[in-house]
Structure 1
């Protein structure tokens, strides 16, 4: 399926939002920037620089939770614009503190405000896309654009960061402001759309109490429409079919307790982030272990292969798996994670870079399937009044996975050996896939018991 056909038909607002995210992501490499600036410019030790990176990672957790709550309270667009403007101003101010430790603390603050915008982006896509098909394509396009920007940004900055770091700071700030301007001027939530996206807490409570999957109705139940009112489109979420005034945000915890399947999904998603973090921790260690002094160069090649694979394979992979549900796509992606990372175990006996290339392509396919579908499961099961907070909670679990993965994996490597870690990752990936299949089976069984005609409201991208 062609790239144009896959992403054709989306709203103008989605195209501008994805364009802004792509532009913004070219400067969105704060973790690497902290390490490079503190070690190259200031001569700080790797251990000391690592403390600042860890602080930036830890502060991202409260950031995504706060961003999710505020996006539900005062609006997604407001949070994105405010967070990016503050990030831009802070990172541009680093140019005036060149050579001082203040830069480290400013970049940590930048990471906090960037993390605030993350759940707002996800929730904004859901708000702008009332239909399931649109939402799937929009998440895919956002993922593709973000990876394109991430691939280009560090490559360009690498030529200037050592001798002209102030130019890097000013450029990243300008990029943030430019992408913010696009969102502010070109991305709009129309009044009619905003009304159609509202739902009441009482309706959501009734929905989760009856555990009736979205897009479905009880046997014998008829849908009544007022004269002149359009019938809900097939594949759209019933939360988006309701109209009314926007209620005050209700507590998050009762929502989670009333919908244990969503709660289970969010908790188990910790495994996704734990596995995915191996590409930036265990993989470079494996390259050094297998290829010695050439390890760093080989790891750079791995990142290039990953970026190229994402750009070339995203549309193909998602087109092939279009008939999959979101849960089945995630389960399939987990299998590719396991096979891809597990293949690195072979480096212990055959230290050939060909194995690394094949491994990288395989786990990149897993990345595409998981990362483009992980938001869809929540999107179709959560009311719009809570999209920001549920996405924030999912991202918070992701922060926990990213934070704990290097530490726990490091303990295992120290206790056993380097290659054996990939067998553990293979096992965790298989367990993650089983959890997703189990969740799919439970939902399907529930639907069958109720005699409900199933609708594929969580189809894969």
Structure 2
């Protein structure tokens, strides 16, 4: 494996993909407010924990509803215009928070911002789906995942500094970076929404019409592609498991180490996760070039099985680091290939709606995971949590393999007919 071979695929993507990646880095670098929402409302505003919990939950639901709406708008109106309008509204909403005096007005603007951001969130993956196919699609989504993580690695550090000393600049900085990303897309990215029926016949034949345009709504399109419904159900299991990287691990470390040491170890694990998520994605398209996305996701499930499952038996700092490396590799395999799988099976007429599925599945898993884990830990122990988590991950991997076997048989049947 030479450096030239590794880098070559990244030099062959359409210009608009690079602009979207840059916009993603800038936007995530400036995502100051939402990660610190709980701390801001609790310690700066002085709200009670129960009230803050309700606000955070409602805010998450607002983003989820926005994503559902956004998928259809992106397909009906256009990718670029939806991004420009709703990201600008998000920036204005966050900017208003910096100058509002009333607590509930601030909360309302934050929720509005999350709602309109949700509407525009499927645009990134939809544009990349429009502009790429095959191996280039793998490369684009791997780079996008890296771009998000680079932005998210820098953003919280800047946010923490502004939070302590310049709270108004926290909101202004968030708004400004959002506007910069809007300007980049507005001036340098063309509208990529394809016209109905616009798809190369040769590619259709090769992919068994997976991306052929469909008439009707999302449910009708999904029912014609039952593998996506099954895939979505399996992915809920994956994100039930992955949600424990924040909830379960923090409790486990608190149980194994002293309070001060636990926070240090947790910070180290999150750093390991962020660094790997920023460095490894560009290597994956080369390493797994000929592996189907579903099998990459199954492999990711096995990394989850070992990485999370081993925490039932470990107590040393070094082993927790190893665990983090393993489940982070799983995270990268799952996250990048989930987008690719959905993109490869989305009808050209419903790409926005299909690309809204991934964030919805992720949020559903992150809502249910901590709730179910909390109930389990209450009756057993935090260390006992990791055995069922590991088993769930293994079941998810087996189900994904089973789905691919069924799809292979179906495609073989199509060839014969």
Distance in structure 2 (CA, Å) of the matches to 1:429 and 1:59: 29
In the alignment, what sits opposite 1:163? 165
Residues in 2 aligned to 1:56 and 1:216: alpha-carbon distance in whole angstroms: 39
Q: How many residues align?
A: 412
- Deviation string, structure 1 residues 45-98 (Cα, Å, up to 9, x no partner): 434322221111122221111010110110111111122111111111111125
Deviations 1:130-181 (A, max 9, x none): x222211111111100100000000111112023110111011000000110
Deviation of residue 323 (structure 1)?
Answer: 1.7
- Match of residue 232 from structure 2: 266
SS in 2 for 1:417: coil
Q: What is aligned with 2:198?
A: 198
Q: Which residue of 2 aligns with 1:437?
A: 401
Q: Over the residues paired in the alignment, what is the CA RMSD in angstroms?
A: 2.5
How far the C-alpha of 1:276 sits from its partner, in A, is: 1.7
Counterpart in 2 of 1:185? Answer: 187
What are the within-5 Å matches in structure 2 for residues 341-360 of structure 1?
341-347=308-314, 351-360=315-324
Q: Distance in 2 between matches of 1:46 and 1:214?
A: 56
1:43 alignment partner in structure 2: 46
Structure 1 residues not aligned, in runs of 5+ = 204-211, 218-236, 454-461
Q: 1:11 to 1:182 in 2, by over 3 A?
A: same
TM-score (structure 2 length as normaliser): 0.92
Runs of 5+ unmatched residues, structure 2: none
CA drift of 1:451 comes to: 4.3
Structure 1 window deviating more from structure 2 (7-16 vs 75-84): it is 75-84
1:152 corresponds to 2:165: no
Match of 1:401 among 342, 362, 365: 365
The verdict on how the C-alpha distance between 1:48 and 1:290 changes in structure 2, with shifts beyond 3 A counting, is farther
Q: What's the counterpart of residue 65 of structure 2?
A: 62
Q: What is the distance in 1 between the residues matched to 2:364 and 2:43?
A: 29
Moved more, 253-262 or 71-80: 253-262
Match of 2:272 among 299, 305, 311: 305
Using the alignment, how far apart are the partners of 2:251 and 2:302 within structure 1?
23
Bigger shift: residues 120-129 or 63-72: 120-129
Taking the aligned partners of 1:409 and 1:106, their CA distance within structure 2 comes to 32
**1:109: Cα distance to partner?**
1.8
Distance 1:199 1:61 in 2: 30
Counterpart residue number, 2:248: 282
Change (3 A) 1:449 1:238: closer
Choose the corresponding residue for 1:332, options 292, 295, 299.
299
In structure 2, relative to structure 1, the CA distance for the partners of 1:254 and 1:64 (3 Å cut) is: same
**Cα pair distance change 1:297/1:98, threshold 3 Å:** farther
CA contact (8 A) 1:19 1:145 kept: yes
Deviation, 1:187, is: 0.6
Partner of 1:100: 103
1:311 and 1:183 mapped to 2: Cα distance? Answer: 23
Q: Residue 30 of structure 2 aligns to a residue in which SS? A: coil
Aligned residue in 2 for 1:391: 355
Aligned to 1:414: 378
C-alpha distance in structure 2 between counterparts of 1:335 and 1:213, whole Å = 33
The CA deviation string for residues 115-140 of structure 1, in whole angstroms up to 9 with x for no partner, is: 112222211111122x2222111111
Measured after TM superposition, the shift of residue 344 of structure 1 is 1.3
Which of the pair is proportionally richer in helix?
2
1:7 aligns with 2:44: no
Which of 28, 32, 42 is residue 25 of structure 1 equivalent to? 28
Distance 1:93 1:143, change over 3 A: same
Which residue matches 1:231?
A: none
Instruction: Tell me the SS of whatever aligns to 2:394.
Output: helix
Residues of 2 paired with 1:31 and 1:80: CA distance?
A: 19
Query: Counterpart in 1 of 2:175?
Result: 173
Which of 127, 137, 140 pairs up with 1:138?
140
Shift of 1:238: 7.3
Q: Does 1:16 align with 2:24?
A: no
When residues 214 and 358 of structure 1 are mapped into structure 2, their CA distance, relative to the original with a 3 A threshold, is: farther
> 1:274-313: per-residue Cα shift (whole Å, max 9, x none)?
1221112111121222213122222122111111111222
Question: Measured at CA, do residues 214 and 400 of structure 1 come closer, stay the same or move farther in structure 2, by a change above 3 Å?
Answer: farther
Give CA deviations for 1:304-358 in whole Å, capped at 9, x if unaligned: 11111112222234422222100100000111111111121123xxx21111110
Q: Scaled by the length of structure 1, what TM-score is found?
A: 0.84
